[in-house]
Structure 1
Amino acid sequence: MATDDERKTYDPAGEVVDLCRELIRIDTSNYGDSSGPGERKAAEYVAGLLDDVGISSNIYESEPGRASLIARWGDGPGEPLLLHGHLDVVPAAAEDWQVDPFAGEIKDGYLWGRGAVDMKDFDAMALSVVRARARAGAQPDRPLVMCFTADEEAGGHKGAEFVIEEHADEIADCTEAVGEVGGFTTTVRGKRIYLIEAAEKGMAWMRLTARGQAGHGSMINRHNAVTELAGAVARIGAHQWPVRLTPAMEVLLASVADIAGTEATPENAEALVEEFESSARMLGAVIRNTANPTMLSAGYKVNVIPTEATAHVDGRFLPGHEDEFFETLAELCGEHVTWDFVSHQQPWETPYEGALVDAMTQSILAEDPDGIVAPYLMSGGTDAKHFRKLGMASYGFAPLRLPRDLDFGALFHGVDERVPVDALEFGARVFDRFLDQV
């Protein structure tokens, strides 16, 4: 464990900005198939960084170019802690951005680029801290296993899922895991709240199919596949899902209610979510199931009614509410529309308690004594869904102290993705303290 005096001999944040810039400059765009550049170049870059400080690693490919890396550091007692981050990013259309999304440009106090918040920031934090500690001989008391994965942005099937199926022996002794999308700030009535991810919605990426009678577009057709599909898509998109509070959100909303001088109930949950200012849109999605139509396909000629029409829907369901989600979806689709899964992954929730939670809380408050730390449920999905299959308790903890007016949720997969430079440095300092306490 590094004391405050010992910490002065190394700077955990010294490299974090440069490392994040270099990772952004390695294009690892994931198009959901094998057409992108893959993650191999980024994995080799990370391997070199670790090797430079005496930490060996292994790179595994699920198919050519789709590379994940695993490294182990420390020989102390106890069960290892898994630190996991993904190397791939969603694509970016450069013409929509203010800057080149793969240039790693620093502008207006922010580091811009695809992956700046999802999630090369966390990768850079972990690497900066581990490299600084390794050089200083400040191993954490608990062994660490670091896993940098491929394919998270397409469900993790060629990354984390491949790792747990083919190389579980390298990580199976880890009992707890820490990854992305937690520890960032939101603001309620001027107070900073650091949100620790303690749960995730389940994922149901679905292909809806309607089949009907093909025919000439000029004639009456009572069995038009496009009509049936369009009706189902419209009903799904317009459906108002009821509020459902899970344990993590009950704790978070209770914290907000305390600030607002009220009590948290399902009836005022939406009003309490609005207290989160720039984060309200993101957190509004985690007090209910959601289903958003995202793609449509049908036909090949304007005067031909096709036999088949398809749509894709991104469905997300709360822990404990999967049955309700699919029962409702069946009603909305109707009898003439069926679905199959592009990806179906279960939700999860970890109790917000214990030594690891205490370590996250104390490390944040050591750097920001005025902060409030609370759990939340994330609307998206991470590789934690796969690693939990090996029995690991999981949390999201990539600490960032953010400006009050920054809509952080909009930056995930968004145009002009960026992270404040001082937030990266703050996160590295917090993460260093965290490793002292785990």
Structure 2
Amino acid sequence: MSESKPAQVTAESEVTEICRDLIRIDTSNYGDHSGPGERAAAEYVAEQLAEFGVEPQIFESAKGRASTVVRIEGEDRSRPGLLIHGHTDVVPANADDWTHHPFSGEIADGCVWGRGAVDMKDMDAMTLAVVRDRLRTGRKPPRDLVLAFVADEEAGGVYGARYLVDKHPDLFEGVTEGIGEVGGFSFTVNEQLRLYLVETAEKGMHWMRLTVEGTAGHGSMTNQDNAITELCEAVARLGRHTFPVRITKTVRAFLDELSDALGVELDPENMDETLKTLGGIAKMIGTTLRNTAQPTMLGAGYKVNVIPGQATAHVDGRFLPGFEEEFLSDLDRVLGPRVKRESLHSDRAVETDFDGALVEAMQSALRAEDPIARAVPYCLSGGTDAKSFQDLGIRCFGFAPLRLPPELDFAGMFHGVDERVPVEGLQFGARVLDRFIDAC
């Protein structure tokens, strides 16, 4: 009897286990350096790549806050390089809320479960699996690839992408284009058409603290200058406020594509019915029609019978490209004169055109694996490390390809309970990413 040969190792066969390995490394980012940091993940990434002879570098911006960067030599080194970036930190998770432990990397119901499964250790795993396979088989990319697995994206990127851009810009010398999160995921329209949303724009951010000063006093006495009352009224006004619809270039392009796909005329001022047809991605698309400001934290007082002299709130503000000044003006008008607004972290909105050879490479790679695929541009309601890399003149897109089952609430996976990614989606993404690298 002849002995069976061991199965050939490929990107497709490795990607799931790499994703599980990364999820098992707890890189929770609490935003205050109290978490475990990303050092263990940075070392894991470096080991996975160093196995095939390249020399990744680990950069630690603060204790435990580590990023890994490596340049993979291309066939034609005279061409501009391509950046593939992903963050290794994740938002925290409470295990008691989850069906499967958030740091177990459990496989169940055809999915890999865990914190970071879609945000964004799935793309980290795809990138590692594809590059490892190319190094293993001696397939050079057409041009240099710079891989950056960075820290701290979930808290604004100060200790990750921003640190690298400010302190080590030479790492990205000659790089003109890049891909990262959040894009390349599918939305099934019907049996003849599947849209893949590629991020070409993202909202800017203003994370802020609101403060109201009042008159402190005894809790048993009447107080017409209660800081908590004044702040809560302002926060309630803001939380219920609807900012006006503002259609940017990217949103207009997406709505035109969606209108064509659905065979209906879309009115941006009356999108409620259309959004209902979009399933999980409606959460992403709906918030790209206008600026938003969501109250997220409240703080005041230290004892039940003491009226505090100060009350604070935190707000997550997001503005569309070209509408920052209008957003801040509207914000101050809604809050009123008693509220002091303090910026905690801000970053610009970014936008690029949906054209060029890189977009064509995305289209061709997707269609090769999914004949009914059509790539379309969209605006991300959140922010990514693209904001930092664009400061180096790198034209960035969100392209982390995933073919998703129509019933999966993909948008709900981001920072949500029971975050998970389909195994078949990971394998599909690895195949598409490999084809994309060849095509660009």
| Same fold flag (TM > 0.5) | yes
- In the TM superposition, residue 14 of structure 1 has moved relative to its aligned partner by 2.0
What residue number does 1:54 align with? 53
What residue number does 1:19 align with? 18
Listed as ranges, the matches of 1:397-416 within 5 Å are: 397-416=399-418
Write the distance in 1 (CA, Å) between the matches of 2:266 and 2:439.
32
- In the TM superposition, residue 309 of structure 1 has moved relative to its aligned partner by 0.2
CA deviations 1:96-127 (Å, max 9, x no partner) are 10111111110010000111000000000001
CA deviations 1:130-175 (Å, max 9, x no partner) are 0101111111111000001010111000111110111111113211
What residue number does 2:185 align with? 184
Write the distance in 1 (CA, Å) between the matches of 2:266 and 2:304.
53
Asked whether the equivalents of residues 204 and 316 of structure 1 are also in contact (C-alpha less than 8 Å), the reply is: yes
Q: 1:278 aligns with which of 277, 280, 291?
A: 280
Write the distance in 2 (CA, Å) between the matches of 1:10 and 1:255.
39
Structure 1, unaligned stretches of length 5 or more?
1-8
Q: Which stretches of structure 1, 4 residues or more, deviate above 6 A after TM superposition?
A: none
> Bigger CA drift: 213-222 or 357-366?
213-222
What residue number does 1:156 align with? 157
Q: 1:386 aligns with which of 373, 385, 388?
A: 388
Asked whether the equivalents of residues 101 and 114 of structure 1 are also in contact (C-alpha less than 8 Å), the reply is: yes
Write the distance in 2 (CA, Å) between the matches of 1:259 and 1:301.
58
Answering whether residue 264 of structure 2 is matched by residue 262 of structure 1, we say yes
Write the distance in 2 (CA, Å) between the matches of 1:223 and 1:173.
59
Listed as ranges, the matches of 1:34-433 within 5 Å are: 34-75=33-74, 76=76, 77-189=78-190, 191-433=193-435
State the AA in 1 paired with 2:114: G
Write the distance in 1 (CA, Å) between the matches of 2:178 and 2:184.
14
- In the TM superposition, residue 386 of structure 1 has moved relative to its aligned partner by 0.7
> Bigger CA drift: 265-274 or 45-54?
265-274
State the AA in 2 paired with 1:175: T
Q: Report the TM-score, using the length of structure 2 for normalisation.
A: 0.95
- In the TM superposition, residue 268 of structure 1 has moved relative to its aligned partner by 4.0
SS state at 1:342 partner:
strand
State the AA in 2 paired with 1:22: D
Write the distance in 2 (CA, Å) between the matches of 1:412 and 1:245.
25
- In the TM superposition, residue 333 of structure 1 has moved relative to its aligned partner by 0.9
Write the distance in 2 (CA, Å) between the matches of 1:171 and 1:382.
18
Write the distance in 1 (CA, Å) between the matches of 2:354 and 2:346.
25
Write the distance in 2 (CA, Å) between the matches of 1:399 and 1:172.
26
Asked whether the equivalents of residues 280 and 412 of structure 2 are also in contact (C-alpha less than 8 Å), the reply is: no
Asked whether the equivalents of residues 399 and 431 of structure 1 are also in contact (C-alpha less than 8 Å), the reply is: yes
Write the distance in 2 (CA, Å) between the matches of 1:270 and 1:320.
24
- In the TM superposition, residue 208 of structure 1 has moved relative to its aligned partner by 0.4
SS state at 2:119 partner:
coil
Distance 1:289 1:12, change over 3 A: same
- In the TM superposition, residue 189 of structure 1 has moved relative to its aligned partner by 4.8
Q: Report the TM-score, using the length of structure 1 for normalisation.
A: 0.96
- Give the share of equivalent positions with the same residue, in percent: 56
Structure 2, unaligned stretches of length 5 or more?
1-7
> Bigger CA drift: 258-267 or 281-290?
258-267
- In the TM superposition, residue 264 of structure 1 has moved relative to its aligned partner by 3.5
Distance 1:140 1:10, change over 3 A: farther
SS state at 2:342 partner:
strand
Write the distance in 1 (CA, Å) between the matches of 2:363 and 2:400.
12
Q: CA RMSD in A?
A: 1.4
State the AA in 2 paired with 1:201: K
State the AA in 2 paired with 1:358: E
Write the distance in 2 (CA, Å) between the matches of 1:213 and 1:373.
57
Report how many aligned residue pairs link the two structures.
Answer: 431
Write the distance in 1 (CA, Å) between the matches of 2:61 and 2:131.
26
